[in-house]
Amino acid sequence: MADTLTITDNRTGRQYEVPINNDTIRASDLRQIRVAPEDFGMMSYDPAFLNTASCRSAITFIDGDKGILRYRGYPIEQLAEQSTFLETAYLLIHGGLPTQSQLTSWEGDLSQHAMLHENVKKFMEGFRYDAHPMGIFLSTVGALSTFYPLAKDVDDPASRRLQMIRLIAKVPSIAAYAYRHSVGKPYVYPNKELSYTGNFLNQLFKQTEPIYQPDPILERALDVLFILHADHEQNCSTSAMRNIGSANADPYVSLAGAAAALYGPLHGGANEAVLRMLTGIGTIDNVSTFVEGVKDGKERLMGFGHRVYKSYDPRAKVIKATADKVFAITGRNPLLDIALELERIALEDDYFISRKLYPNVDFYSGLIYQAMQFEPSMFTVLFAIGRTAGWIAQWEELTSDKGRKIARPRQVYIGEGQREYPPMVER
């Protein structure tokens, strides 16, 4: 049997042979299907890209039915257990795990670029005291393109590498500055004696003590959360990164666009929305009423459901296990009981079972962040720090492809036919 699809156009009786590769057909192979020779030819129509592959990628593999997630072939459970976020970032970008010397050099490069230009503080001061940290984050990342104009040379591998290092190194400082601005505290410079994640906690929570020492359990828990959030193939924000990057835009403005997509409550903004949902439910006694509201379409169960996972999100399992370690230090988050009751009811109710709705990465993560003293408005920023590694890796995979083309979808036009411009008196 040939690896082809035979298509019969019943409008004309003509048959077409279309090659099949990787269990897909090229949409452009449909253009030959036309009724009249002057027709444009057939297109595929797939709003929200539910069944359309936009690229070929070797970075992340997901099997939504089996709940499998692998970065460069390594199961997420093993990386969360044994790796660090910086090692995982190296893996995603370079394709393989680093040797010790490669990892030491990588960590050194990142530590060297953690500082922000002093001017960044000046324009951060322009934000209102209560500006949402995600708005500050994505604006500041985009503004970095004005500090590094050479980043526009996206075809220079050395320049691309330098910008990637700068972005991964600086996003914790940007995030911490955004938080410190919102609480009216002075900015804290990076401490290169601490780990990447330990220094982030330092820049967030240092008070007047000479040297901030992060709690090692909390430091490790946050590092694991960064690993879990690092990449997730062609999600909404990564698709934005690739779309913008396909125009040869520099990685700073591309990442600002990706962060803007992540900010949406249906995407990375869900972790903050989950916390507000649980707080709104208030007590376990209110859970069943809330669930009825979800089934009536009046509410959305934030942190549940996924376009790809039609089983339990493997990241949610790891996060749930991490929560116990954090709560042993911080004290149990009372909202956990509401979350557990919500999950229990949902996993037994046909409305959720029939729609294959399970907890996703955002359902439990906010409970940990809150227990670690993060404000809910910082939750998506934390997601963005981890996902910067994935956005960068996906952008590098796109930009290093000499055959790349600018993303420019087609449309099905359903508007007016040609009509003549009427003078005002005739309107």
Residues designated catalytic? 267, 306, 362
| Contact residue for ligand SDX among 88, 182, 235, 370 (CB under 6 A) | 235
Closest CB 372 distance from ligand SDX, rounded Å: 20
Give the range of 81-89, 128-136, 186-194, 265-273 binding ligand SDX by CB under 6 A: 265-273
Per DSSP, which regions of 124-168 are E strands? none
Q: Considering the rule CB under 6 A, would residue 270 count as an interface residue with ligand SDX?
A: yes
3-class DSSP state for residue 74? strand
DSSP 86-113: HHHHHHHHHSSPPPHHHHHHHHHHHHHT
| Contact residue for ligand SDX among 169, 281, 361, 372 (CB under 6 A) | 361
Give the range of 52-60, 208-216, 280-288, 356-364 binding ligand SDX by CB under 6 A: 356-364
Q: Which is nearer to ligand SDX, 98 or 264 (CB)?
A: 264
Q: Considering the rule CB under 6 A, would residue 317 count as an interface residue with ligand SDX?
A: no
Q: Considering the rule CB under 6 A, would residue 240 count as an interface residue with ligand SDX?
A: no
Give the range of 14-22, 68-76, 98-106, 230-238 binding ligand SDX by CB under 6 A: 230-238
| Contact residue for ligand SDX among 259, 278, 357, 384 (CB under 6 A) | 357
Q: Considering the rule CB under 6 A, would residue 241 count as an interface residue with ligand SDX?
A: no
Q: Which is nearer to ligand SDX, 133 or 305 (CB)?
A: 305
Q: Determine contact, residues 181/129, Cβ cutoff 8 Å.
A: yes
Give the Cβ contact number of residue 272 at 10 Å: 26
Distance CA 340, CA 29 (A): 49
> Which residues between 292 and 311 bind ligand SDX (CB under 6 A)?
294, 300-308
- The first and second tokens of residue 188, run together, are 């804290």
| Contact residue for ligand SDX among 185, 267, 310, 404 (CB under 6 A) | 267
- The first and second tokens of residue 317, run together, are 């399992």
Of residues 240, 386, 237, 389, the one with CA closest to residue 318: 386
Q: Considering the rule CB under 6 A, would residue 360 count as an interface residue with ligand SDX?
A: yes
Query: Using alpha carbons only, what angle is made at residue 60 by residues 55 and 64, rounded to the nearest 5 degrees?
Result: 95
Give the range of 113-121, 133-141, 355-363, 400-408 binding ligand SDX by CB under 6 A: 355-363
Q: Determine contact, residues 346/190, Cβ cutoff 8 Å.
A: no
Of residues 140, 164, 376, 352, the one with CA closest to residue 260: 140
Residue-wise over 75-100: b if at least 16 C-beta within 10 A, else e? ebbebbeebbbbbbbbbbbeeeebee
> Which residue number is nearest to ligand SDX in terms of Cβ?
305
Site of interaction with ligand SDX (CB under 6 A): 232, 235-236, 266-268, 270, 294, 300-308, 355, 357, 360-362
